[in-house]
Amino acid sequence: MDKQKIADSIRAIYDYPKPGIIFRDITTLIGDGEIFHEVIELLRQRYQNEHIDFVASIEARGFIFGAALSYALGVGFIPIRKKGKLPYTTMSGKYSLEYGFDEVEIHIDALRGKAEARVVLVDDLIATGGTAEASIKLLESMGAQCIEAAFLINLKGLGGEQKLAPTSVFSIVDYEEK
């Protein structure tokens, strides 16, 4: 795997959505079949011997990687969505925003009755880690064991990785920006 090739396939958009922000645009990566395949294959190899029961992902961009990994591993997929987006009975977890709170939800039967299900959480990017932290706590409150949180991109300067401890974090591309 060529991490630099993967990093080079991610477009940087400066001053979006506001001045001083560098938006990491993954559409250029997923639009390149070879590189997208390489990312999913890297994740498949990482988790193929971990006896994963489910891949859980956070909407929306996380679904792109999570669903593909779920398929590659031949395991179930668990969507974690913003409050009010899932049609069946849910459990929810709150997380802090700069000004207030938000919530993520999961169906109450997402683990299909599997006690101590082994789950990997997948998203496109970790920044401050609030959404991932709430998602892990939600999965664990249902009896799942989140064996790792995997991200395409880790914005290391924002401290999200530390917020997820003791859950281990894996990322493919790291940026030091704050």
* Separation of alpha carbons 174 and 157, rounded Å: 10
Block residue for tokens 């645009």: 25
Secondary structure class of 69 (helix, strand, coil): helix
Please report the pLDDT score of residue 178 as a whole number. 63
Distance of CA 98 to the CA centre of its chain: 20
Residue stretches of the chain with pLDDT short of 70: 1, 98-99, 178
* Separation of alpha carbons 137 and 167, rounded Å: 10
Beta bridge partners of 24: 12
Helices (H), the chain: 3-8, 27-30, 33-47, 61-73, 130-141, 160-163
Tell me the Cα Rg of the chain.
Answer: 16
- Domain 50-175 belongs to what architecture? 3-Layer(aba) Sandwich (3.40)
Please report the pLDDT score of residue 96 as a whole number. 82
pTM for this predicted structure = 0.94
Contact 57, 120 (CB under 8 A): no
Please report the pLDDT score of residue 101 as a whole number. 84
